[in-house]
């Protein structure tokens, strides 16, 4: 699915793929392991993922990396807080594989927000989606064990468990690679 089809399906069915969009969209191919936005940079872009896997991570006080999110085709990704408030990012955006993306810029979106119903619908739905997703993840950390969260992943996002190295999944679950090994043995 590309951005135009996403907008037709989820934002406004009156918009038809091929119609002009009220903001600029570039298309990029990004080599494997590229850091798109690093810690401390201001995020100027948001990406719609056509192919590949992206991840957002942060560094904890103790120097440990934590993975906040993985992204798959058909999803937007960005250092989203920094994209919204244009302050330095405390997360890093990186692609794990070669990736194909459509690129939106902060500048072009802000210009479109002034007058475009479609741009505001898209921006609203994206913000609402990420609010719900963040809230759900926070709630899971408060209420579920690492083992329960791993089982949720296995059932809810099997593609993630198949395609992402186990050490990185451990960083997403907030446990050591050894703990995740024990969890996997206990389950199987």
Checking 149-155 for CB contacts under 8 A at 24+ apart, the result is 149/173, 150/180, 150/183, 150/184, 150/187, 151/187, 154/187
Sequence-distant (6+) residues with CB within 8 A of 113 are 119, 120, 123
120 contributes a contact to a copy of itself by CB under 8 A: yes
Q: Which is nearer to a copy of itself, 132 or 187 (CB)?
A: 132
90 contributes a contact to a copy of itself by CB under 8 A: yes
Give the residue, chosen from 21, 42, 58, 154, that forms a contact with a copy of itself under the rule CB under 8 A: 58
Q: Which is nearer to a copy of itself, 99 or 149 (CB)?
A: 149
Give the residue, chosen from 10, 39, 72, 113, that forms a contact with a copy of itself under the rule CB under 8 A: 113
Instruction: Please report how close the Cβ of residue 32 comes to a copy of itself at its closest, in angstroms.
Output: 28
Instruction: Please report how close the Cβ of residue 41 comes to a copy of itself at its closest, in angstroms.
Output: 17
Give the residue, chosen from 9, 17, 65, 127, that forms a contact with a copy of itself under the rule CB under 8 A: 127
Are 150 and 144 in contact by the 8 Å Cβ rule? The answer is no
130 contributes a contact to a copy of itself by CB under 8 A: yes
Question: CA 99: distance to chain centroid?
Answer: 13
């Amino acid at each position: 699915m590309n951005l135009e089809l996403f907008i037709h399906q989820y934002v406004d069915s009156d918009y038809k793929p091929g119609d002009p969009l009220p903001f600029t969209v570039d298309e990029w191919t990004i080599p494997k392991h590229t850091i798109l936005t690093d810690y401390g940079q201001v995020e100027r872009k948001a990406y719609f993922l056509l192919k590949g896997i992206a991840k957002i991570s942060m560094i904890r006080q103790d120097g440990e990396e934590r993975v906040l999110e993985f992204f798959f085709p058909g999803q937007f990704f960005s250092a989203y807080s920094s994209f919204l408030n244009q302050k330095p990012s405390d997360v890093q955006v990186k692609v794990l594989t070669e990736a194909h993306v459509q690129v939106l810029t902060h500048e072009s979106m802000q210009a479109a927000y002034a007058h475009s119903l479609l741009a505001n619908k898209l921006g609203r739905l994206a913000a609402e989606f990420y609010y719900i997703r963040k809230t759900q993840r926070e709630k899971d950390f408060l209420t579920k064990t690492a083992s329960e969260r791993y089982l949720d992943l296995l059932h809810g996002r099997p593609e993630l468990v198949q395609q992402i190295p186990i050490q990185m999944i451990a960083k997403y679950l907030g446990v050591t690679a050894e703990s995740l090994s024990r969890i996997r043995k206990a389950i199987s």
